[in-house]
Amino acid sequence: MSNNRLYIFDTTLRDGEQSPGFSMNTGEKLRLARQLEVLGVDIMEVGFPVASDDDAHAVKLIATEIRQPVIAGLARCNPDDIERAGESLRPAQRARIHTFIATSDLHLERKLRISRDDCLAAVTAGVKQARGYTDDVEFSAEDATRSDMEFLCRVVETAIKAGATTINLPDTVGYCTPEEIEEFFVEIREKVTNADQVIFSAHCHDDLGLAVANSLAAVKAGVRQIECTINGIGERAGNASLEEIVMATRVKPDRLPYETIVNSKELFRASQLVTEITHEPVQANKALVGRNAFAHEAGIHQDGMIKDRRTYEIMKPEDIGVESTLVLGKHSGRHAVKKRCLDLGFELSRFELDRTYKEVTDLADRQKTVVDVDLQEIVSRVRAEVISKGAA
């Protein structure tokens, strides 16, 4: 394994789908799973089989059809959970059971109501049971970043001894800053005696808007798997955004010299499919996949873009499957109006351009943006007026 190889663990169909308003039926899950396979994710977490018969059926169906990525199912360190996950994943060409238990004292005492020793015993039993179904077992310590460090190291060592091959240490409630995450993973990897036997994974939530930054900081500390979702969907404020993680490594290879096998040209298509299925659009200014991510309205920006796209775009929009757009609005300049008219097949005289530009800005004051149909109507009206005056 290359030290710079970064594994993309997509959990859109599990963590993303369980967030309020984002649930998907089996058919929708299968459609998205097909797109994720085309996208080229390494691991696809497709459900929590014990949650319902429908979830178990969806996991089994996806495991039967999708052959390229590793197919993962989530299970608590609980015999029934692991059995259900193992059976649902049997058809998979490459299956992973992802088993977890909380490790912070807050969760142990207030939620699970068990002791630390009980937790360690559950980790050993759960991982060993999962290994009975597959050699690929991921263990997660829920609320890891708020856990006691010495106890967490014991948990991780226990999971590895029991047969876990990937160790995921989630920032479950999005509590950390990038500096803390980096220090956290460095300390864990230094203190855990058998740390070199596994791949470490980061699963960061976006409660403070730091999920992507935290994930990349974790990679700097030696993590080689990132758990993320399309459009950053997930519990509460969501997860680290898959598209942002991938493109950060492409745009900044000097600072982030990590390689993924994701086909970035499928990112926008995946984003649009998630929006279509969930009926939850991304915000207009969402990085990469928001409708304004590659749109330019300010006249100065548009002039620069017309002369050289690199003036205001740090990546090629077509690299993620989208086109750059010059948006005509009240801030647009004459150069942008002229360029869009030429794109539509209209070569305007100086007088026609002046009149068209004025009408575009007047209309933009009333309706914010001017679309191609509006522009065509304006040009037609201006030309009719010119012809009329000429005839007069």
Rounded CA separation 177/79 (Å): 35
Tokens of 346: 């209209």
Residue 90 clears pLDDT 60, i.e. is over it:
yes
- Compute the average pLDDT of residues 45-65: 97
Residue 104 has pLDDT above 80, yes or no: yes
Q: Is the pLDDT of residue 28 over 70?
A: yes
Residue 75 tokens, joined: 């299970």
pLDDT tens-digit map of 124-174: 999 999 999 999 999 999 999 999 999 999 999 999 999 999 999 999 999
The model's pTM is 0.84
From 278, 306, 323, give the residue that closes a domain: 278
Q: Encode pLDDT of 175-217 as tens digits.
A: 999 999 999 999 999 999 999 999 999 999 999 999 999 999 9
pLDDT surpassing 90 at residue 67: yes
8 Å CB contact between 126 and 99: yes
Amino acid at residue number 377: E
Between these two residues, 84 and 2, which has the higher pLDDT value?
A: 84
Total number of domains in the chain: 2
In a domain, 284, yes or no: no
Burial class (CB in 10 A: 0-12, 13-18, 19+), 347: exposed
Q: Domain end: 225, 248, 278, which one?
A: 278
Hunting for tokens 């305007």 — which residue is that? Answer: 348
pLDDT at residue 298, as a whole number:
67
pLDDT level of residue 297 (50, 70, 90 thresholds): low
Other beta carbons within 10 Å of 127? 24
Domain co-membership, 356 together with 244: no
- pLDDT attached to residue 9: 98
- 381: domain range? 295-391
> Are residues 194 and 309 both part of a single domain?
no
pLDDT digits (tens, 9 = 90+) for 243-264: 999 999 999 999 999 999 999 9
Which helix H or strand E contains 135, and what residues bound it?
none
pLDDT for 390: 66
Q: Quick one: CA torsion of 208, 211, 216, 221, rounded to 10 degrees?
A: 70
Q: Exposed, middle or buried by CB within 10 Å (0-12, 13-18, 19+), for 44?
A: buried
Q: Alpha-carbon distance 14 to 106, whole Å? A: 24
Give me Rg for the CA atoms of the chain: 26
Q: Is residue 288 part of a domain?
A: no
Report the share of the chain in percent with pLDDT over 70: 96
CATH of the domain at 45: 3.20.20.70
3-state helix, strand, coil split of the chain in percent (to 5) is 50, 15, 35
Higher pLDDT among residues 196 and 368, named by residue: 196
pLDDT tens, residue by residue, 216-227? 999 999 999 999
Question: Does residue 134 sit in the same domain as residue 53?
Answer: yes
What confidence tier does 324 reach under pLDDT thresholds 50, 70, 90? low
Is the pLDDT at 242 greater than 70? The verdict is yes
The span from the CA of 230 to the CA of 222, in Å, is 23
Q: What is the pLDDT of residue 226?
A: 98
Q: Which pLDDT value is given to residue 373?
A: 82
Task: Tell me how far apart the alpha carbons of residues 114 and 103 are, in angstroms, rounded to a whole number.
Answer: 10
Query: Are 162 and 131 spatial neighbours (Cβ–Cβ below 8 Å)?
Result: yes
| Nearest-angstrom CA–CA distance, 14 and 23 | 9
CA nearest 72: which of 120, 121, 125, 36? Answer: 36
Query: Residue 80's pLDDT is what?
Result: 98
User: Does a structural domain hold residue 263?
Assistant: yes
Judge whether 340 and 350 are in contact, CB under 8 Å: no
Max mean pLDDT among 172-186, 294-308, 324-338 falls in 172-186
Q: Are residues 94 and 48 in the same domain?
A: yes
Position 1 in a domain: no
Mean pLDDT of the chain: 92
Residues 248 and 309 in one domain: no
How high is the pLDDT of residue 19?
86
